[in-house]
Structure 1
Amino acid sequence: MNLRKQLLTENDCYRSGRSLRPKGVMVHSTGANNPNLCRYVAPNDGLLGQPSLRHWNQPGTGACVHAFIGKLADGSIAAYQTLPWTMRGWHAASGDKGSANDTHISFEICEDNLGDEGYFQAVYRQAVELTAYLCKEFDLDPLADGVVICHSEGHSRGIASNHADVMHWFPKFGKTMDTFRADVARELEGDEQVTQEQFDQLMDNWLKRQAQQSASSWATPILKQAAAAGLTDGTRPQAFATRQEVAAMVLASKS
């Protein structure tokens, strides 16, 4: 994941400074044919490019999400964090059951003309990785009901305004929010880290199994000769020899 940070500190949402206890992640897309991050994120950090005059890092914008995914000036794909994850965003408006602003971290995927599969696959992958990162960071289950949703699903649940994103775009390339949630879950499964203690135990078990292996057929007569010469006791033929054992065998061969 190519995640960078450029907080929109001049946005009225940021300045309001309300806190958020994340209970989920809401996926949005911008609804405009402009895949460039500099349309929304400013100032230019040397990677974004010249900001649009309508960028979101200024008062009067009326909306703010926690991150954007789109193109850098060189055409590569990145995600930019634009609000602290635990700050309440302005992204969902509200429905008859409340507002996802109070519960969900949000990000926008910058839309293109909705016809470029290469661009879609790149931003989709970035969105999966970002959502998995957030789920791990805040101990969220992406497969649990209502945790990872898009704007249109939020509207169906009564916690967002009536927008179509992202279901006007994802199905064009064979994706749904169900496949998105499943991909996030798979990303989390593949992100499990082995601790040093676990690694040590795994290695110890492997070494023990290796030491119990019989000698290869070609090595059996050689080991017998070495044992007769006092170079080895003939045990653990498939185990590793330490430097001290090698040193002892070399000296024994010269005596």
Structure 2
Amino acid sequence: MNIKKLILTENECYKVGQKIKPKGIMVHSTGVNNPYLRRYVGPDDGLLGKNQYNNHWNQEKPDGRQVCVHAFIGKLADGTIAIYQTLPWNYRGWHAGGEANNTHIGFEICEDGLTDAAYFSSVYKEAVELCVYLCKIYNLTEKDVIGHYEGYQKGIASNHSDPKNWFSKHRKSMDTFRADVKNLLSEGEKPAEQETKKYYRVQIGSYSVKANAEAQLAKAKKAGFTDAFIKYD
């Protein structure tokens, strides 16, 4: 997981600073064909690249809206994939358009044209790993992870179709996403494999007369080698 931090301190949501106790995670996708993080995260930290329109979300009301999420996943200027944490995890975000703001950490995956399988695979993997990371922090499970559209179905979020609109194009769903989160969580719970013990035998001698072998065995046991034994070939 490639996670970095640039808190959106100029965003009104951050300034309000209302805290929550996270009870779940909500997955969003941006709905815009722009995979670069600099569209939403700024100013440039040397990795993001310059946003020529200066319309990132590190301002009071980005695009005139009261919006803010806890993280974004997308491309850096050099094309590599990263996660940027943009709010403290326990801050109340403005991402769900409903009651989920009071209970869920929300993050956005930056959409592209929705057809690039390699890009999708990379950001999907980062999203799974981010959820596992947050589940471990807040004692959550894969059952506590939902998409925005599922939040709407539950009556705790606004009417959006993300990320189903994108996931389905790559034969993924929130069910497969949760399964992947569960699998990665369970990997961390597997006990470390016990080291296989190895035993080495040392032969003291070889005798054609049994009495001589028994005498040598007695000497070995007297010396403290109580597990010594005679093997007849």
TM-score (norm 2): 0.84
1:114 aligns to what SS in structure 2?
coil
Counterpart residue number, 2:138: 138
Q: Which amino acid is 1:183 matched to?
A: D
Separation in structure 2 between the aligned mates of residue 232 and residue 28 of structure 1, nearest angstrom: 70
Superposed CA offset, 1:108-130 (max 9, x none): 00000001000000000000000
**CA-CA distance at 1:235 after TM superposition:** 4.8
1:74 to 2:57 alignment: no
Superposed CA offset, 1:216-242 (max 9, x none): xxxxxx613299697994959xxxxxx
- How many residue pairs match? The answer is 213
1:85 aligns to what SS in structure 2?
coil
Superposed CA offset, 1:186-238 (max 9, x none): 111112376xxx88xx45xx44xx34xx85xxxxxx613299697994959xx
Which of structures 1 and 2 has the larger relative contact order (alpha carbons within 8 angstroms, sep 6+)? 2
Identity %: 54
Separation in structure 2 between the aligned mates of residue 142 and residue 105 of structure 1, nearest angstrom: 14
Separation in structure 1 between the aligned mates of residue 127 and residue 85 of structure 2, nearest angstrom: 12
Counterpart residue number, 1:164: 161
1:188 to 2:185 alignment: yes
Separation in structure 1 between the aligned mates of residue 90 and residue 15 of structure 2, nearest angstrom: 14
1:34 aligns to what SS in structure 2?
coil
1:151 to 2:148 alignment: yes
Q: Which amino acid is 2:152 matched to?
A: H
Separation in structure 2 between the aligned mates of residue 224 and residue 138 of structure 1, nearest angstrom: 61
Counterpart residue number, 1:33: 33
Unaligned runs of 5+ in 1: 216-221, 237-255
Q: Which amino acid is 2:162 matched to?
A: D
2:121 aligns to what SS in structure 1?
helix
Q: Is the 8 A contact 1:40 1:56 kept in 2?
A: yes
Separation in structure 2 between the aligned mates of residue 193 and residue 89 of structure 1, nearest angstrom: 34
- Pair 19,232 (structure 1): closer, same or farther in 2 beyond 3 Å: same
1:225 to 2:224 alignment: no
Q: Is the 8 A contact 1:29 1:108 kept in 2?
A: yes
Separation in structure 1 between the aligned mates of residue 7 and residue 76 of structure 2, nearest angstrom: 16
1:225 aligns to what SS in structure 2?
coil
Separation in structure 2 between the aligned mates of residue 152 and residue 37 of structure 1, nearest angstrom: 23
Superposed structure 1 runs of 4+ greater than 3 Å apart:
226-236
Q: Is the 8 A contact 1:224 1:234 kept in 2?
A: no
1:18 aligns to what SS in structure 2?
coil
TM-score (norm 1): 0.77
Separation in structure 1 between the aligned mates of residue 165 and residue 113 of structure 2, nearest angstrom: 12
Superposed CA offset, 1:120-167 (max 9, x none): 000000000000100111000213xxx210110001111111111001
Aligned-pair Cα RMSD in Å: 2.5
Separation in structure 1 between the aligned mates of residue 226 and residue 35 of structure 2, nearest angstrom: 68
Separation in structure 2 between the aligned mates of residue 171 and residue 102 of structure 1, nearest angstrom: 28
Q: Which amino acid is 1:72 matched to?
A: L
Counterpart residue number, 1:6: 6
Bigger mean CA deviation after superposition, 226-235 or 181-190: 226-235
Q: Is the 8 A contact 1:223 1:234 kept in 2?
A: no
Unaligned runs of 5+ in 2: 207-212, 229-233
